Amino acid sequence: MDKVVILGRVSTDRQDYQRQINELQEYCDKVGWEVVNVFVNKVSGAKSIEERTELQQMIQFIKDNEISRVVCLEVSRLGRNTLESLKVIQILNEHKVSLFIKNYNLETLDSNGKPNPITSLITTILLEIASMERQTIRERMMSGQQQYITRCRKYGIKMGRTEGYRKSDDNYKEEYSKEITLLRKGISLRNVHSITGTSINTLRKIKIKFIQN
């Protein structure tokens, strides 16, 4: 019987990952996989590997135990940061552990324990879609917030940032993690803008703050 671990994640405290665990446990029982551990967390999918305790614990566990697969419900549970998620898949590949994505019935390793090129391509595309969804959600939230502030100001209600407000470096790193990673790889501002949709002016600020120092 193949030994597997379950990986789950939700983004906020208002969400519950128990549904993911139940669905995956039921599937594993059906196909005859033994679930030996479960790794879950409530954390943004944009976080790096180092910032996600469940990934750190899972990686250490598969190094110390004979695990065949990591089972997740959808690829966005691995993360919404494409580069960080691909790092996790690479680590799994190095230890001959396949990532099984249930909603697409995808295995990252073939029956010989080698990376499946077709699955790798599909997984990368799915991760990019998940990243784009995160960007769209962020833009919608910012747009809605700005409209709310504008309406409040119209009626004399003081809203928005207080005078002298400055976004902290940690906030920048969390909000623009993908942009920082791409800029560090030497990708031009215009190309990063095309990939992420982040304005050129914002990318310039990020580059000055985190890349050129």
Q: How confident is the model at residue 138 (pLDDT cuts 50, 70, 90)?
A: low
Please report, in angstroms and rounded to a whole number, the separation of the first and last CA atoms in the chain.
Answer: 52
The mean per-residue pLDDT over the stretch 89-116 comes to 92
pLDDT higher than 80, residue 206: yes
**DSSP code per residue over 92-115:** HHHTT-EEEEGGGTEESB-TTSSB
pLDDT confidence tier of residue 154, bands split at 50, 70 and 90: low
Measure the CA–CA gap between 137 and 77, rounded to whole angstroms: 16
Using the predicted structure, report yes or no on whether residue 100 has a pLDDT greater than 90: yes
Burial annotation 68-106 (CB, 10 A radius, 16+ → b, else e): bbbbbbebbbbbbbbebbbebbebbbeeebbbbbbeeeb
Q: How far is Cα 23 from Cα 72, in angstroms, rounded to an integer?
A: 10
- Spatial separation of the C-alpha atoms in residues 154 and 169, rounded to whole Å: 32
Question: What does pTM read for this prediction?
Answer: 0.60
Say which residue, 163 or 88, is predicted with more confidence: 88
Work out the average pLDDT over 186-212. 82
The string of pLDDT tens digits covering residues 39-68 is: 987 776 667 777 888 888 999 999 999 999
Please give the pLDDT value at position 13: 64
Around Cβ 67, how many Cβ atoms within 10 Å?
21
Residue 139 has pLDDT above 70, yes or no: no
130, amino acid identity: A
